[in-house]
Structure 1
Amino acid sequence: MIEHPKSLGIFASYFVLIGALVLVIARTAPVRPAAPYLVLTAVSVLTTWYYMLMYFATSFAEWQLATAHSEYTMGNWLSETKLFEQAWTYVSATPGRYWWSQQICFWSVIVTSFMAHKAELYRIRHLWAYMLLGQVVAMSVNSNLVFGVAAAVEQRAARRGKRPAGRSPRVRTSTLSSVLLVLSFAPLSMLADVTSRWFMPALLSLHSVIFVPLAVGGAPHPWANVAIALLSSALQLWQGVLTGRDAIVATLLEAPTTAAQYAIKSVIADVFCSVAGLAVWVAQHPDQRPLLLLAVPVLGTATGGFLINQL
């Protein structure tokens, strides 16, 4: 008899979901993503998931040392550790780790805005699949795929001497702008004590609400873009001051040996791969090259990514 079939089923379904999302995106993308972004996507998967697999292995080893069982099975491990909840607790447990984790939370808001703004213009379908893939694999995978499709559509249109064939994005002044403004505050929900009963509900709310702008469609109003850019910058600067440079740098440079350290290293790799995709996008658009100065995690990815929509 299989022990803890529910836990094993959830773990297996996670990888089935990843495969299904990749299939949906591959079949519905209007063009193949541009080569530089495919390379960045591959780098993102390799780096973030190297650390994730090490996190799984180290978590299992730590669980073995901490428990007494006649058999150390995967079912027992998954049931007792609550693996994915444990991962989010680990990456938010200290100020330094939280600072790196919030970079991805802010980046999620920015990518959502970019996707909502460009989807109709570039005929990118099933945005929910891109966003969900970003949530279950890495946000840099999502952003680099979207950047790649957008760049490929632009290149194809340029070869034909035309503009991209999609519709100009509609402005959704109230609903979309309001949701994005609310989402700008969402990373602050992670400030709650990770042992609090409100921690996981707040985290799950962020993961769910971020789909709303993609369902609404269209582009946020320009005033909302400016407000979110300023708000994101202010929140990141404020949190950076509270955290302190030493804690941020120490988290970046520490050599991983524990499950918690491998978990945060996956997040940090995700941040850098997201910034790399932003840097390539900006470099390919000459009028946006000054934004390269903002493509550095310590300055915050939020402003640089979001201002892309305004130039």
Structure 2
Amino acid sequence: MQLPHFAALGVFSVYFLIIAALFIFITKDLQSLASVSSSSIVTRLVFVALTVASFAHTWFYMFYYMAWSFADYGKGLQLNSPDSLTHVASWLHDTSLFEQAWALVCFNPQNWWWSEQLCLFTAGTWTIFLVVEGKRYGVKHLWAYMLLGQIVAISVASNMFYLAILLSQRPDVRSSASPRTVGLRIWLSVLLSLATIAASPYTSRQIFLYNLLAMHALLFVPLFPFKSSRSLWIDIKTLYNIVYIASLAIHFKTSLVAFRSLILSHTSFQTLSLEVALSAWNVLFSNPAQSSIGWDVIWTSISFITWILLRPASSGQPLKYLSVPYLVAVTPLASVGVTAPYILQPRGDESGKPISHLKRD
């Protein structure tokens, strides 16, 4: 086996070691909070169950994708019965799993319709939510949740973060009031991330990966402790509104492109809705990579709705009996990337402390 093949095996092994380390790291943080938590044990168990279910489901398809890629690589190769490890090493060396997976879920309009939903939620709502609620509840190591979401699944990371909030001490009412203000570094990185999502369908194969990497890198910018100027701050309600409007416009255009032929061929909204749903369902199972990210979207949506239903009550929240039915009805149509920022907008006229940077852990 050649040195590059050993390196490929090493990178693949390190990837799984990082995943294991992140789970251990975050779990230890959660365990340290458990003794001070006043939340219901049933509520905590709900999010533990959602974490396990979303991880098992999305990674069933992730391993299926790896097996599919391995089998596809082996087709047509003239192999003189090499040992299995050499074959695996050759596959890892010659195949860019990350780029291949994202190409499968991005280059077709209907595939992108699924993938874009997760990108919008992550770049918009999830990033803001991590910064604001992490600061409010004193959750440590916010970068670890974002990294877990990037290399495992957003649904898994979001459920573990919901658990962190539930296990944290309830903040003082005055410190948790909303809306809050955020600095230039935070809101600009969020908007630039959304811009990369809007641009993704128009990228060529040569610049697609660079655009994708830029989006992922920008997600971490708000989570690290850099001091910023007090100029050009905006309140959190305004930022959520901007994200809501931008996400709605981006996803509406994507939906028109993805289902244009169905829209033009149907005059009945009922039959159109059924055809769109069936088409989206078929695309969900078009390849294992798409199934993994598609079910991540679904689990993220279910988990967010569950969070809104069970989250600790505080001032500025919309009433649950209004917000939960809205989410259940509208999220399948508009996506969690659109409905989440609308629901998380602080209500009322209370003000809060500015968030310009995070304390060092």
Same fold, TM-score > 0.5, yes or no: yes
2:114 equivalent to 1:100: yes
Equivalent positions of 1:270-281 (< 5 A) are 270-281=296-307
Distance 1:104 1:208 in 2: 16
TM-score with structure 1 length normalisation? 0.87
2:66 equivalent to 1:37: no
2:199 equivalent to 1:199: no
Superimposed CA distance per residue, residues 118-155 of structure 1 (whole angstroms, 9 cap, x where no aligned partner): 112111110000000000000111111112222343xx
User: Which residue is 1:268 aligned to?
Assistant: 294
Distance 1:104 1:38 in 2: 21
Distance 2:276 2:93 in 1: 33
Superimposed CA distance per residue, residues 202-239 of structure 1 (whole angstroms, 9 cap, x where no aligned partner): 11111111111112589962222211111111211121
TM-score with structure 2 length normalisation? 0.76
Superimposed CA distance per residue, residues 65-97 of structure 1 (whole angstroms, 9 cap, x where no aligned partner): 143333361001111121221111111121111
User: Which residue is 1:69 aligned to?
Assistant: 79
Residue pair 2:107, 2:201 contacting (<8 A) in 1 also: no
User: Which residue is 1:305 aligned to?
Assistant: 340
Distance 1:220 1:25 in 2: 31
2:126 equivalent to 1:111: yes
Residue pair 1:121, 1:166 contacting (<8 A) in 2 also: yes
User: Which residue is 1:88 aligned to?
Assistant: 102
Gaps of at least 5 residues in structure 1 are none
Residue pair 1:31, 1:152 contacting (<8 A) in 2 also: yes
Distance 2:88 2:147 in 1: 26
Equivalent positions of 1:217-232 (< 5 A) are 221=235, 222-232=237-247
Distance 1:117 1:43 in 2: 27
Equivalent positions of 1:141-220 (< 5 A) are 141-153=156-168, 157=170, 163=172, 171-193=181-203, 196-215=205-224
Distance 1:241 1:255 in 2: 18
Superimposed CA distance per residue, residues 130-186 of structure 1 (whole angstroms, 9 cap, x where no aligned partner): 000000000111111112222343xx64xxxx7479777862242212222222222
User: Which residue is 1:294 aligned to?
Assistant: 327
Distance 1:163 1:57 in 2: 50
For 1:48, the aligned partner's letter is: T
Change (3 A) 1:210 1:287: same
Superimposed CA distance per residue, residues 242-291 of structure 1 (whole angstroms, 9 cap, x where no aligned partner): 111657742423584xxx60110001110011001111112125714433
Distance 1:34 1:235 in 2: 35
Distance 1:199 1:167 in 2: 40
2:53 equivalent to 1:53: no
Task: Provide the aligned length of Structure 1 versus Structure 2.
Answer: 301
Change (3 A) 1:94 1:167: same
Percent identity of equivalent pairs = 26
Change (3 A) 1:238 1:199: same
User: Which residue is 1:14 aligned to?
Assistant: 15
Distance 1:206 1:264 in 2: 19
15-24 or 162-171, larger mean C-alpha shift: 162-171
Secondary structure (helix, strand or coil) at the match of 1:31 reads helix
129-138 or 31-40, larger mean C-alpha shift: 31-40
Secondary structure (helix, strand or coil) at the match of 1:213 reads helix
Distance 1:95 1:310 in 2: 34
User: Which residue is 1:233 aligned to?
Assistant: 248
25-34 or 135-144, larger mean C-alpha shift: 25-34
C-alpha RMSD of matched pairs (Å): 2.7
For 1:31, the aligned partner's letter is: L
Distance 2:78 2:203 in 1: 29
Secondary structure (helix, strand or coil) at the match of 2:106 reads coil
Residue pair 2:192, 2:218 contacting (<8 A) in 1 also: no
Residue pair 1:134, 1:142 contacting (<8 A) in 2 also: yes
Distance 1:211 1:255 in 2: 28
